[in-house]
Amino acid sequence: MDISKIEIKDVNFSYKEVKVYKKNLNMCLEKGSIYLIKGKNGSGKSTLAGILLKIWNDFSGTILLDGKSITNFSREALAETIGICFQKPPIFRDTIRNNIALNDPISVEKYISLLSFYKDLEEMGRTLESELIDTGSVSGGQAQKIGIIRTVCRERSVYIFDEPTSNLDSVSKKEFYDMIEHLKQNSIIILFSHEADAEKSADFIIEL
């Protein structure tokens, strides 16, 4: 499923009787642009991601995907359309390759070079076939790189990145922003970040 436009109209969301958004949320997100969404902790950034993935359905207002209500789409269909990268990606007891590919038949090699991850492998004395135990098996920056590569190696219409560069060095940050600049040609890029570099890369900045 290909999505070129997301329209969010007068959306409010309540969780356990606490209103997350202080006012109706309105925005239009289109393919070809990077949208930086800013806000204090608790302002609803993660909630917005959950709504778009139908993890949470208890909201008022309208969300349209290419003119069709999000209620018409299954959670499975949205998961195949929207890729999300968390600030602290989960690391599984498996090889580095499978932590990226998640056992899907994906050739991960061409994506690894995007964030100089081969250099990280050399510094760790590991290969793609080396086994990881859990998040403690890698540094915070290496875990973020695995999460980013895991996300972008799957072609999606929408990519959501939640504080993706908080543990990356300056070189890797530049590589990340170069990468999403290329990705936006065929996708909608949603970025949650407090970093100045994110503002420089964004085409639009939205304050929650």
Q: Which two tokens stand for residue 95?
A: 């090889």
Instruction: Encode the chain (208 residues) as per-residue pLDDT tens digits.
Output: 899 999 999 998 766 655 555 568 899 999 999 999 997 776 678 888 889 999 888 788 999 999 999 999 999 999 999 999 998 999 999 999 999 999 889 888 888 888 889 898 998 899 999 999 888 889 999 999 999 999 999 999 999 999 999 999 999 999 999 999 999 999 999 999 988 899 999 999 999 8
Domain ranges of the chain: 5-207
- This prediction has a pTM of 0.92
Of 3.40.630.10, 3.40.50.11540, 3.40.50.300, 3.20.20.140, the CATH number of 5-207 is 3.40.50.300
